[in-house]
Amino acid sequence: MRIAIASDHAGFYLKELLMNRLAAEPDLTLVDLGTNAASPPVDYPDFALAAAEAVVRGDVDRAIMVCGSGAGACIAADKVPGARAFFAGDTYTAHQAVEHDDGNVLCLGERVTGPELALEIARGFLRAQFTDQERHRRRVGKIAAIEAASNFPVEALLRQGRASGWTTSPAACSLRASCVGWRGKTASRA
């Protein structure tokens, strides 16, 4: 199994411990996506994005992302369509999130989880397999449907009258580059 491991500066030492200790696990190939030092400070969304995208592209089977609390990394990684990121502060959550929810990005917090517990959490995550039971497939399918609806183009919402707070007026969009939406249309909060 190929595993990406990434961190920001606040998760660097735990990432290094996981890299070193998990390297001895049979059948694991670890891919270090950075950061490469505890200083200077770096932005966790950049590394969470790299880890989640590696999973979604199929470059790796799963990923572990470490930041200070695990929260920011989880929020950022879960924005990548197809990533199912979760925080685990215990071993039960680590394996249950894979078995029932098909979780593929484990987020940990160096400042809130001791190193030995973090290692056991990571091992639980990596050893777990999705049960593939009908009820779990159905629930993961519903998660995918929510994700698809969340990425629904603003233009389509406007046509349905469900985006009353949005406008497609280019003049209303002060950050045009970030407002370009589906088919080159612009969208911004009114």
Sheet of 62-67, strands arranged across: 29-32, 2-7, 62-67, 105-109, 85-87
Residue type, 182: W
Known catalytic residues are 67, 100
Identify whether the C-beta of residue 56 lies closer than 8 Å to the C-beta of residue 82.
yes
Nearest CA to 42 out of 50, 34, 30 is that of 34
Q: How far apart are CA 109 and CA 188, in angstroms?
A: 34
- SS3 (DSSP) at 97: helix
Q: How far apart are CA 74 and CA 108, in angstroms?
A: 8
